[in-house]
Amino acid sequence: MHSLRINFNSWQALSGRYIWSGLNATYIDNAFANRTSYDEYGRTISQTTNVDGNIFANLFAGAGFPILGRKIEFEPNVNASYNKNTNFISGQENITENTSVSGGLDIQFNLDSLEFSIGNNYSYINPQTSLASFANQPYSTQRYTARVEWRVKGGFLLKADANFTINSGRAQGFNNEILIINAELSKSFLKTQNLILAVNGNDLLNQNINLLRQVNGNVITDNFTQIISRYFLVRLTYKFNNNKTKEDDFKGWG
């Protein structure tokens, strides 16, 4: 394995501005690969063989630009990757290449007792395989997010977040649009507000599924998995605090 890594990071303490970026690249000689063939009965014969030229490369960068005394912060990001793998199917060399590009922008608002953010991310993936042209179908994912945290007088705290995902370019039945909304209302008690009673609602619209596309050799697979679905939870929390001060005094409302 021949690997190259380059990283650059910068942070300005007074302004709060920062940049992070990097490049990773790996080239592999004598990598393990599958050599698959089929006999007259349709049985699969799989062997391990060595190949040269497998490549993985990844380029990423992000930044934060606060303005108005850090009350508003812009956080752009970008990511690109390239993968090349070789295998053999019925004696023929099959080269699979995956190229993906994604980017997005998050905006944070910090207004004393009220904090909220909005963001978006778009990713485009283009798989190419030399023996199975049907798998050469690009697909994309769009994500839009929103989050709010509002502290109200009297020890009340309201939290909510939403995540809207648009899937495109997949097989029929897998181009789902998914909206996940979570919410929480809590009330703090005692002088130091160490006792917290909260009510949580997870996935209020009951849409929580995980979509995944995999391209491997001459096989393209779309699948979705039902993960933790809608539920409601009542939670009572006690935080031990020997300082006898409010843990979140710096966030505004007392």
pLDDT score at 254? 39
d(CA 12, CA 188): 36
Residue 212 domain-assigned (yes or no):
yes
Q: Torsion angle of alpha carbons 86, 90, 92, 98, nearest 10°?
A: -30
Rounded CA separation 26/57 (Å): 6
Contact of 172 with 211, CB cutoff 8 Å: no
Asked if residue 102 belongs to a domain, the reply is: no
Segments in the chain below pLDDT 70:
134-135, 209-211, 214-219, 224, 226-227, 241-254
- List the structure tokens of 232: 């409601």
Q: Are strands 156-168 and 231-238 parallel, antiparallel or unpaired?
A: unpaired
Say what the pLDDT of residue 245 is: 59
Calculate the CA dihedral of residues 175, 215, 142, 229 and round it to 10 degrees: 60
Give the number of other CB atoms < 10 A from CB of residue 217.
19
Considering the domain architecture, whether residues 78 and 124 belong to the same structural domain is answered as no
Specify the pTM.
0.79
d(CA 31, CA 129): 18
Task: Indicate if 234 and 192 belong to the same structural domain.
Answer: yes
The verdict on 85 and 117 lying in the same domain is no
Is residue 98 included in any domain, yes or no? no
Residues 116 and 215 in one domain: yes
Residues 129 and 244 in one domain: yes
96 occurs within a structural domain: no
For the chain, how are helix, strand and coil distributed in percent, rounded to 5?
A: 0, 70, 30
pLDDT of 43-53, one tens digit each?
Answer: 889 999 999 99
One domain for residues 117 and 85: no
- Decide: 158 and 148 in contact? Cβ < 8 Å: yes
Together in a domain, 181 and 71: no
Q: Do 17 and 69 sit in the same domain of this protein?
A: yes
* Whole-number pLDDT of residue 193: 82
Does residue 97 lie in a domain region? no
* Domain ranges, residue 48: 1-91
Same domain, 120 and 217: yes
DSSP type of residue 136: -
Mean per-residue pLDDT over the chain, rounded: 87
3 and 69 together in one domain: yes
If one counts the domains in the chain, the total is 2
Does one domain contain both 137 and 203? yes
Q: What is the pLDDT of residue 252?
A: 44
Question: Minimal CA–CA distance to 86: which of 24, 32, 37?
Answer: 32
CA angle 239, 229, 194 (to 5 degrees): 10
**How many Å is the Cα radius of gyration of the chain?**
25
* pLDDT for res 148: 96
